[in-house]
Amino acid sequence: MAGATDDHRDQQRSFNSAERVALFLAADGRCVECGQDLEPGWHADHVTAWSRGGSTDVRNGQAMCPPCNLRKGMNSMANGSWLRDWQREARERYHSRNGGENGSFLVVATPGAGKTTFALTIAQDLIQRGIISNIVVVVPTKHLRRQWAEAGMRANIGIKLDHVFVNRNGAVGSDFDGAVVTYQAVASAPLLWQRLCTNKRTLVVFDEIHHAGDGEDLVWGDALKDSFEAATRRLLLSGTPFRTDGKPIPFVTYDEQRRATPGFAYDYGMALTDGGVVRPAVFPAWDGESQWRRSGQMAVTKVALSDTDKGTVPPALKAALDPEGKWIPSVLQEAHEALMHMRIDTPDAGGLVVASDQFAATAYAKILERISGVPVPVAISDEPSASDIIKSFAKSSVPWIVAVQMIAEGVDIPRLGVGVYASRVRTKMFFTQVVGRFVRMRGEEDLTTARVFIPSIQPLLTFAQDIEKTVEAVLAEEEKQVREQQAGDSDGGSDSLFPAYETVSSSVATHHATIASGSAFTTEQLQFAGQTMELMGPAPASVTKEYVAGLLSAAGALHANSIPQQQAVEAETEPLGDQKKRLRKLIHRKVARLAVLTNEPHMKINGDLNYQLGDNVTVATLPSLEKRLAIVSNAVKEAAKK
């Protein structure tokens, strides 16, 4: 058996040109799943996944359109038949600690990592071991109730959750394993839920537990404690690390800095390193001039978004996001063009605009309808149909959806690839949750790099830089390993009745910077850095404009790129197949990065490389792959300078 495994590792992962032709002809030029005519960029798919031992052979291949193949990958990841490495590790830790201190266990895992599947697996384990016989899932929004119920069935775990239960029912039907309820519903009837979870041995799952600190006068936390203190087990989930600045949330343990202490943590960087979990993201930041006046005054204040400070950000951002101005329509136009470009490689890729309120969301949808020429759905949490609208959009190929805050966390729409952050909320947790909507991978064949358009204001630029530094660090570490192997706050919420500021206008958005390597330099800064380098004379290739710009930055707000230093190491023995597999994976990631920087489709970049090198990545020799990596790496470096 070991020999068979080694043979599988040594063989190629992707179908070569001749095999693709055979698969295309065998399918008569149509997708084997939906029957639609195959277009350029169609996918050669493994019937039995390569990761599960399937061979790269035409007898194990089929021709599929990208949406069907990516949907297949998504379903494979969600069916619960196998767990990701982090889920297995977290599962072992959970059981080794008998459900955590006092029966409470906190898991902090990056959005898109699979917290729902993990929690349902734990629930199944506890039922099979006779520890519990009832499940209560507490969620922040109504839409997530249906999503959890569907996940329980889709995961092939057989857990049936009542997502339409209301407090006046008094009891959950006997044909259910439990219910899904909102934090607000629990807070309105804590004694009911206390009775429901004490009548049976109950596991309570708190989805996005940091929401327990929400609610009027922070009463939600007290209600949760009253309702579920007697529960047999409590599993706490969150997509981002959080802290308490007020009353501690029940069942959460905090350190000396008032930060929540998880029983298991799995962050974005870890998920990106593991591969197959989350995709990288870049952040085009857009500048522009905002104008406003104080209520009751005639004097108009004008300021560029990139020049705002703590006092001017709220009115400047409000003016920029005003649908009657010029800034947000121009950003929506840019975002739509980016989405149309992404749909060349991924025809069903979708875009999401996160708005601050219902009025803005409706106005943005009308702007996008004028730009795209197709209807744009709007999901507003106050409307009963919001959940159905989101579900319908997730299954369709409609290009855009606009939503208010409700879609920022927990909502699962894997086809999202382009986003516009048009919210006035400026907290790191909310920003991270929004970004989480775009980074969920749809399977092993998904090489999309998400694009999230943001205003060029602090602290959003800093949040984006932090995420991008993680992306670049992961890519740099991957390349280093390959080469070593070769060598051997919000602004206060909704507007008051008498707003302090009156929006006047906003200018057309101008490109401020694209945060794609952990740093954000303006065009002028890079030009000045280039002139300085010319005066200095010839410099090593590792000294880039960005590096010099970081040294010259008097404000200290921009950070220089970290240039990984290669170290000579003793060559290690590694099978040729593993070496080539590692190189192909890194080349794919580099091509994805280059596609973002140059706005060129993956197909064109790969085609140009094939023409230049006289082969393709699936059949290339090791020296040819090394040369291909060098070419792509240099192209990425040059594109990043522009």
Buried b (16+ CB within 10 A) or exposed e, 165-191: beeeeeebeeebbbbbbbbbbbbebbe
Cα–Cα distance for residue pair 474/390, rounded to 1 Å: 33
CB neighbours of 468 closer than 8 A, spacing ≥ 6?
Answer: 281, 282, 283, 515, 516, 517, 518, 519
Average pLDDT, the chain: 79
Mean pLDDT of 44-51: 75
Domain count, the chain: 4
522 burial class (0-12, 13-18, 19+ CB within 10 angstroms)? middle
- Does 230 map to a domain? yes
Residue 171 clears pLDDT 70, i.e. is over it:
yes
pLDDT value of residue 408: 54
330 burial class (0-12, 13-18, 19+ CB within 10 angstroms)? middle
Least confident among 75-89, 157-171, 325-339, 542-556: 542-556
Mean pLDDT of 263-271: 84
What CATH code is carried by the domain that includes residue 28? Answer: 3.40.1800
Cα–Cα distance for residue pair 468/474, rounded to 1 Å: 10
Residue 163 clears pLDDT 80, i.e. is over it:
yes
Least confident among 70-79, 152-161, 457-466, 467-476: 70-79
> Can you tell me which residue has the tokens 């992961």?
474
Among 506, 537, 560, give the residue marking a domain's end: 506
- Does 90 map to a domain? yes
- Beta strand pairing call for 281-287 and 510-515: antiparallel
Residue 36 clears pLDDT 80, i.e. is over it:
yes
Sheet strands side by side (includes 281-287): 378-379, 400-403, 350-355, 416-422, 450-455, 281-287, 510-515
- Does 73 map to a domain? no
Q: How confident is the model at residue 53 (pLDDT cuts 50, 70, 90)?
A: low
Residue 107 shares a structural domain with residue 247:
yes
Q: How confident is the model at residue 629 (pLDDT cuts 50, 70, 90)?
A: confident
Tens digit of pLDDT for each residue in 456-500?
A: 998 898 888 877 666 555 555 555 555 555 444 444 444 444 456
Q: How confident is the model at residue 360 (pLDDT cuts 50, 70, 90)?
A: very high
The most distant pair of C-alpha atoms in the chain lies apart, rounded to whole Å, by 81
pLDDT value of residue 10: 42
Residue 517 clears pLDDT 50, i.e. is over it:
no
Residue 27 shares a structural domain with residue 127:
no
Radius of gyration of the chain (CA): 26
Residue 107 shares a structural domain with residue 228:
yes
Residue 548 clears pLDDT 70, i.e. is over it:
no
Distance between first and last Cα of the chain? 51
pLDDT value of residue 29: 85
Residue 253 shares a structural domain with residue 344:
no
Residue 263 clears pLDDT 70, i.e. is over it:
yes
Q: How confident is the model at residue 139 (pLDDT cuts 50, 70, 90)?
A: very high
- Does 75 map to a domain? no
Question: Which bin fits 518, alpha (ψ -120 to 50), beta or left (φ > 0)?
Answer: left
Residue 528 shares a structural domain with residue 461:
no
Residue 202 has what DSSP assignment? E
Q: In 3-state terms, what secondary structure has residue 349?
A: coil
Provide DSSP, 500-524: SEEEEEEPPPEEEEEE-SS----HH
pLDDT value of residue 96: 92
Residue 38 has what DSSP assignment? P
pLDDT value of residue 336: 96
Q: How confident is the model at residue 118 (pLDDT cuts 50, 70, 90)?
A: very high
Provide DSSP, 104-161: EEEEEE-TTS-HHHHHHHHHHHHHHTTS-SEEEEEESSHHHHHHHHHHHHHTTS---E
Residue 185 shares a structural domain with residue 295:
no
Mean pLDDT of 229-240: 93
pLDDT value of residue 388: 82
Say if residues 13 and 50 touch (Cβ distance below 8 Å).
yes
pLDDT above 90 covers a percentage of the chain that reads 31
Say if residues 29 and 23 touch (Cβ distance below 8 Å).
no
CB neighbours of 344 closer than 8 A, spacing ≥ 6?
Answer: 41, 601, 603
Cα–Cα distance for residue pair 143/376, rounded to 1 Å: 19
3 burial class (0-12, 13-18, 19+ CB within 10 angstroms)? exposed
Say if residues 392 and 401 touch (Cβ distance below 8 Å).
no
Mean pLDDT of 186-205: 94
Residue 355 clears pLDDT 90, i.e. is over it:
yes
Say if residues 391 and 150 touch (Cβ distance below 8 Å).
no
Looking at per-residue confidence, does 338 or 55 come out higher? 338
Residue 257 shares a structural domain with residue 283:
no
> Can you tell me which residue has the tokens 């038949």?
81
Q: How confident is the model at residue 405 (pLDDT cuts 50, 70, 90)?
A: low
Give ∠ CA 38-39-42 in degrees, rounded to 5.
75
Mean pLDDT of 377-387: 77
Residue 285 shares a structural domain with residue 247:
no
pLDDT value of residue 500: 62
pLDDT value of residue 81: 47
Among 506, 533, 564, give the residue marking a domain's end: 506
Say if residues 185 and 223 touch (Cβ distance below 8 Å).
no
Enclosing domain of residue 465: 277-506
Range picked from 142-156, 174-188, 231-245 for highest mean pLDDT: 174-188
CB neighbours of 225 closer than 8 A, spacing ≥ 6?
Answer: 250, 251
Cα–Cα distance for residue pair 470/36, rounded to 1 Å: 39
The two tokens of residue 329 are 């329509």
Q: How many CB atoms lie within 10 A of CB 95?
A: 14
Least confident among 265-279, 312-326, 343-357: 265-279
Residue 171 shares a structural domain with residue 310:
no
- Does 71 map to a domain? no
Say if residues 122 and 100 touch (Cβ distance below 8 Å).
no
pLDDT value of residue 440: 81
Provide DSSP, 360-411: HHHHHHHHHHHHHSS---EE-TTSTTHHHHHHHHHHS--SEEEE-GGGGSS-
Q: How confident is the model at residue 103 (pLDDT cuts 50, 70, 90)?
A: very high
The two tokens of residue 95 are 């059981």
Residue 34 shares a structural domain with residue 53:
yes
- Does 115 map to a domain? yes
pLDDT above 70 covers a percentage of the chain that reads 75
Residue 261 shares a structural domain with residue 291:
no
- Does 112 map to a domain? yes
Pick the closest to residue 280 from 636, 641, 39 (CA basis): 636
Least confident among 264-268, 294-298, 398-402: 294-298
Sheet strands side by side (includes 501-506): 301-304, 289-294, 501-506
- Does 210 map to a domain? yes
Mean pLDDT of 5-31: 70
Residue 248 has what DSSP assignment? P
Looking at per-residue confidence, does 447 or 56 come out higher? 56
Give ∠ CA 424-425-427 in degrees, rounded to 5.
145
Q: How confident is the model at residue 55 (pLDDT cuts 50, 70, 90)?
A: confident
The kind and range of the H/E element at 95 are helix 85-96
pLDDT value of residue 327: 96
Residue 199 has what DSSP assignment? T
Say if residues 594 and 639 touch (Cβ distance below 8 Å).
yes
Residue 481 shares a structural domain with residue 573:
no
Mean pLDDT of 236-263: 85
What CATH code is carried by the domain that includes residue 100? Answer: 3.40.50.300
